[in-house]
Amino acid sequence: MSRIAAGSARALRGHTGALGYLICGWGIAWRELLRFVHQKERFFSALVRPLVWLFIFAAGFRSVLGVSIIPPYETYILYETYVVPGLAAMIQLFNGMQSSLSMVYDREVGSMRVLMTSPFPRWFLLLAKLKAGVLVSLFQVYVFLGIASLWGIDLPPLGWLAALPAFVAAGLMLGAIGLFLSSLIRQLENFASVMNFVIFPMFFASSALYPLWRIRESSEMLYWLCQANPFTHAVELVRHALYLSFEPASAGIVVATGLIFFGLAVAAYDPGQGIMGRRGGPGGAP
C-alpha cells in the first residue's frame, strides 16, 4: 500500500491543478471503499448494534417510554419510531471512530507519511479521507433505514432524500472528531479505550434514546450536558430532516463543530508519529 501511495504521489507531482486534486481525492476515497468491501465484518458489526436496540430493547421499552407529541412528530409515536434517527446517527458515530482507527493504523505502518509527500496540502488529504468515511457510513445508514422500514417503521418517502444533507453534515462532524482523536493518539493499542471513553458518553448523553424533556424531569444538570453534546444536535438534525423539517440551531452547531474539529485535526496531525518515526526514520528519534 505504501508503494502505491508513493507511486501516486510521484505521478501527481506535476498535476496539482483541479484534475490532480480530483484524481488524488478519488484515489484516496477508492482505497477506503476497497478496504470497506474487503472487511465485510465491519459492515455487519455496524448494523448489529442499532438492530439489536431496535428489535429487542425498543420492544421492551415500548410501554415504558412512549413519546408524546414533540417536534417534528405531529402525533403520538411508539418508542421504536423515536429511536430510529438516533440509531442511524449512532452508525455514523461508530463509523467515524472506526475510520479514525484506520488513520492510526495507516500512521503506524507509515503509509500516511508516504501519502503526505504528495504535492497536495495536508488539509485536502485529510478531507479526502474524511469524505471517504462518510460515504461508507451513508451506505450503512440507508441499509439500516431500509431494514427499519421493513420492520414497520413509517418514514416519509421524501424524508429519505431530505435527510441526505443532514447525514452528510453529521458524518463529517463525527468523522472530524474521530480524526482529531487519531491525531492525538500515538499508539494503536490505546485507541480502543479512548473510543469507549468518547463514544458511550456521547451516545447515551444525547437525545438518541430518549427525549430531552424526559431527561430534564430527572436531572437539570444532565439535560444541559445533553444540550452541550454535539451528537445531540446531529441526532436532532437527522430526526427533523427525516420528517421533512429543518432545525437551524442544530445545523449551525453541527457545521461549526465539524469545522472546528477538522481544523484542530489538521493542525495536530503528525504522520511521523508512526513506526517510521519510532525506528529512527526521517523525523524520528535517532
pLDDT digit string, tens, across residues 99-135: 777 776 666 665 666 666 667 777 888 888 888 889 8
Q: What is the pLDDT of residue 280?
A: 44
Count of Cβ atoms closer than 10 Å to residue 2 Cβ:
15
Does residue 141 have a pLDDT over 70?
Answer: yes
Q: Which of 34-38, 214-218, 277-281 has the lowest mean pLDDT?
A: 277-281
Nearest to 176 by CA among 268, 84, 239: 268
Looking at residue 278, its pLDDT comes to 46
pLDDT band at 282 (very low <50, low <70, confident <90, very high): very low
pLDDT at 248: 93
Q: What would the pLDDT profile of 171-214 be if each residue is shown by its tens digit?
A: 999 999 988 887 777 666 666 677 778 888 899 999 998 888 88
pTM: 0.81
Can you read off the three cell numbers belonging to residue 245? 423539517
**Is a pLDDT exceeding 70 seen at residue 276?**
no
Q: What is the pLDDT of residue 115?
A: 66
More confident call, 264 vs 40: 264
C-alpha torsion angle, residues 126, 127, 132, 133 (rounded to 10): 80
